[in-house]
Amino acid sequence: MTYASNEELFPVWREPRSIWERRGFNPRQQRYLTLVMVAITLLLLSGWIYATIHAIETGGVPSIARRISQQPSLLSRNSPAPATFLLEAAINAFTDWEERFRGESGQVRIVVQEPGDTLPLPDSVPSGVEIVYAPVEAVDSMGAIAGSSRAARSAPPSSAGIWAILARARDALRPVSDLNLVTLVPASELNEGRIGSYRIGSWPQESGAYVPPRGFVRVTPENMNTRVSKHVRLADLLTKGQEDVWPKYVVVSPRALDKVELTIQELEGRGHPVDNIFVISGFRTPWYNETGGDTSGRGALSRHMYGDAIDFAVDNDRDGRMDDLNGDSRVTVADARVIAAAAEEVEKRYPEMIGGIGIYAPTGAHAGFVHLDTRGYRARW
């Protein structure tokens, strides 16, 4: 009987003699690899056999096979792009478009459309994508619409409201931006100083920066928490009083929101982080400006009546009062001056933001605040 030598049973691995000899596994490693591959193959075969038997017993068809049989074009080179890719392309098309509405701060979140205006959309929206609008209160962060998707309309809305702008590809919907379209209630709906039951009053007939507003934002309990900028909600701008009357109406200026956000950015650049602001006063109806609360110090032509003035304090701890910004462990008028100094720098950098800057010392009701507006000329107090 002839026995194989050790060299024959377990060949000795050696370095290849030329580039034509490939490096690989030694015989022992090769046997282990073969065993692993056989095990994997048996596992996959078992799974396939189980799936096939289960499909036969239940009368079903594996989901992948079903999709291919129903839509053979999915495997075609010329098949349409999946909805997900179309929606991503639509969102990218809106990236540059939305910058014109976000202001210098990049933090404004509304596009205000006055009566008779139209909203120009990007020219590069991909084929197969439709831009639609839905009430902002009906849309969640993923673009799902409460109730029926028929609430989304393809034509730019002419009726008053706050609308999310969405892209629709086949049955998929997704917001293209956190910008919302605001369509105003025409001022012509004012009847004896009211719209419906909500009392507004009337504006003096002036010109220039004191032209009465052309329209109003309709505010409801459902949309009042809409962000109009990064730090300001629609509810922050509501006139005090008439708590039980809905809907309410406000006038809002994107430029004033932009000035507030620029001032916050300047504060943060100076070492004062701002997580939250407390808005003391936003829009004031002419009726409230004349009769509501303490009217001392209010001008007959207050910029609050024109929607381009905001009184606010930095309130990171959310206690409804100004924070200690100058680090002296007290809350005084000096903290309001810190905000005013930041606003002064904003007006230097952005002359189009020029307007009023007012400093208010702490009182029994408020621990100091700053007034900002964009009236178009310099005013200080």
* Domain range list for the chain: 23-79, 83-182, 187-380
pLDDT reported for residue 50? 79
Closest by CA position to 267, among listed 356, 336, 328: 336
What is the per-residue pLDDT across 145-187, written as a single tens digit (0 to 9) for each?
765 455 677 777 888 999 999 998 887 888 988 999 999 999 9
Let me know if 307 is exposed, middle or buried by CB neighbors in 10 A (0-12, 13-18, 19+). buried
Asked whether the beta carbons of 152 and 166 are under 8 A apart, the reply is yes
- Which has more pLDDT, 95 or 201? 201
What is the per-residue pLDDT across 56-74, written as a single tens digit (0 to 9) for each?
666 555 554 544 444 444 4
- CA 163 and chain centroid, separation: 12
Asked whether the beta carbons of 298 and 287 are under 8 A apart, the reply is no
What letter represents residue 307's amino acid?
G
What is the per-residue pLDDT across 292-316, written as a single tens digit (0 to 9) for each?
766 556 677 899 999 999 999 999 9
Confidence of residue 17 (pLDDT cuts 50, 70, 90): low
What is the per-residue pLDDT across 108-150, written as a single tens digit (0 to 9) for each?
999 999 767 888 888 888 888 889 999 999 887 665 676 545 5
Strand pairing partners for 323? Answer: none
**Can you give the pTM of this predicted structure?**
0.76
Tokens of 143: 């673009």
Please tell us whether the domain made up of 187-380 is placed in CATH 3.40.50: no
Q: What percent of the chain has pLDDT over 90?
A: 53
In terms of DSSP bridges, do strands 277-281 and 130-135 run parallel, antiparallel, or are they unpaired?
A: unpaired
- Which has more pLDDT, 142 or 227? 227
Average pLDDT for the chain: 85
Confidence of residue 82 (pLDDT cuts 50, 70, 90): confident
pLDDT of 9 higher than 60:
no
